[in-house]
Structure 1
Amino acid sequence: MLNYNLGLDYAKEQDSIDHLSNYRNQFHIPKDKYGKDVIYLCGNSLGLQPKLTKTYINQELEDWKNLGVDGHFEAKNPWLDYNKLLIKNMAHVVGAKPIEVVVMNTLTTNLHLMMVSFYQPTKSRYKILIEKDAFPSDKYAVESQLRHHGYDDKESLILWEPRKNEALNRYEELEAILKNQGHEIALIMIGAINYYTGQYFDLKHITTLAHQYGCKVGFDCAHAAGNVQLNLHDSGVDFAVWCTYKYLNAGPGSLAGCFVHERHAYKKELNRFTGWWSHNKETRFKMRDNFDVIPGAEGWQLSNPPILSMAAIKASLELFNEVGIEKLTEKSKSLTGYFEFLVNKLNNNAIKIITPNNPNERGCQLSIQVKNANKSLHKKLTEASVVCDWREPDVIRCAPTPLYNSFTDVYFMVEKLKKLINE
Structure 2
Amino acid sequence: MSNYKLGLNYAKQQDQLDELSLYRAQFHIPKDPDGNELIYLCGNSLGLQPKSTKSYIDQELEDWANLGVEGHTEAKKPWLPYHEFLTEATAKLVGAKPIEVVTMNSLTANLHFMMASFYQPTKERYKILIESDAFPSDKYAVESQLRHHGFDDKEGLILWKPRKDEELLRYDDLESILKKHGNEIALIMIGGVNYYTGQFFDFKRITDLGHNYGCKVGFDCAHGAGNVNLDLHNSGADFAVWCTYKYMNSGPGSLSGCFVHERHAYNQNLNRFTGWWSHNKATRFNMRREFDVIPGAEGWQLSNPPILSMAAIRASLDMFNEVGLEKLIEKSKNLTGYLEFLLKQLGEDTIRIITPENPDERGCQLSIQVLKADKSLHHKLTVAGVISDWREPDVIRCAPVPLYNSFEDVYNMIDKLKAILNE
2:64 is aligned with 1:69: no
Partner residue in 2 for 1:117: 117
TM-score, length of structure 1 as denominator length: 0.99
For 1:422 and 1:205, locate their aligned partners in 2 and report how far apart those are by CA, in whole Å: 44
Partner residue in 1 for 2:340: 340
TM-score, length of structure 2 as denominator length: 0.99
Partner residue in 2 for 1:185: 185
Deviation at 1:348, TM superposition (A): 4.9
For 1:152 and 1:395, locate their aligned partners in 2 and report how far apart those are by CA, in whole Å: 32
For 2:43 and 2:349, locate their aligned partners in 1 and report how far apart those are by CA, in whole Å: 27
- Which residue identity is paired with 1:30? P
Deviation at 1:34, TM superposition (A): 1.7
For 2:144 and 2:243, locate their aligned partners in 1 and report how far apart those are by CA, in whole Å: 20
Q: Secondary structure at the match of 1:253?
A: coil
Partner residue in 2 for 1:374: 374
Partner residue in 2 for 1:4: 4
Partner residue in 1 for 2:329: 329
2:309 is aligned with 1:270: no
Partner residue in 2 for 1:56: 56
The runs of 5 or more residues in structure 2 that have no matched partner are none
- Map of 1:150-229 to 2, 5 A cutoff? 150-229=150-229
Deviations 1:339-360 (A, max 9, x none): 0000001115232110000000
For 1:236 and 1:192, locate their aligned partners in 2 and report how far apart those are by CA, in whole Å: 14
Deviation at 1:419, TM superposition (A): 1.0
For 1:422 and 1:135, locate their aligned partners in 2 and report how far apart those are by CA, in whole Å: 34
Deviation at 1:374, TM superposition (A): 1.6
Deviation at 1:2, TM superposition (A): 1.7
Q: Contact 1:351 / 1:371 at 8 angstroms: preserved in 2? A: yes
Q: Contact 1:381 / 1:417 at 8 angstroms: preserved in 2? A: yes
2:310 is aligned with 1:307: no
Q: Contact 2:204 / 2:236 at 8 angstroms: preserved in 1? A: yes
For 1:341 and 1:297, locate their aligned partners in 2 and report how far apart those are by CA, in whole Å: 42
Q: Secondary structure at the match of 2:72?
A: helix
Q: Secondary structure at the match of 2:285?
A: helix
Partner residue in 1 for 2:96: 96
Q: Contact 1:99 / 1:297 at 8 angstroms: preserved in 2? A: yes
Q: Which runs of 4+ in 1 moved over 3 A?
A: none
Deviation at 1:337, TM superposition (A): 0.3
Q: What CA RMSD, in Å, does the superposition of the two structures yield over aligned residues?
A: 0.6
The runs of 5 or more residues in structure 1 that have no matched partner are none
Q: Contact 2:207 / 2:235 at 8 angstroms: preserved in 1? A: yes
For 1:61 and 1:174, locate their aligned partners in 2 and report how far apart those are by CA, in whole Å: 50
Partner residue in 2 for 1:349: 349
Deviation at 1:188, TM superposition (A): 0.2
Q: Contact 1:373 / 1:393 at 8 angstroms: preserved in 2? A: no
Aligned length: 423
For 1:144 and 1:325, locate their aligned partners in 2 and report how far apart those are by CA, in whole Å: 35
Partner residue in 1 for 2:138: 138
Deviations 1:162-204 (A, max 9, x none): 0000010000100000000000000000000000000000001
For 2:398 and 2:34, locate their aligned partners in 1 and report how far apart those are by CA, in whole Å: 23
Deviations 1:332-385 (A, max 9, x none): 000000000000011152321100000000000000012234201100000000
- Which residue identity is paired with 1:290? E
- Which residue identity is paired with 1:200? F
Percent of residue pairs bearing the same amino acid type: 75
For 1:103 and 1:43, locate their aligned partners in 2 and report how far apart those are by CA, in whole Å: 20
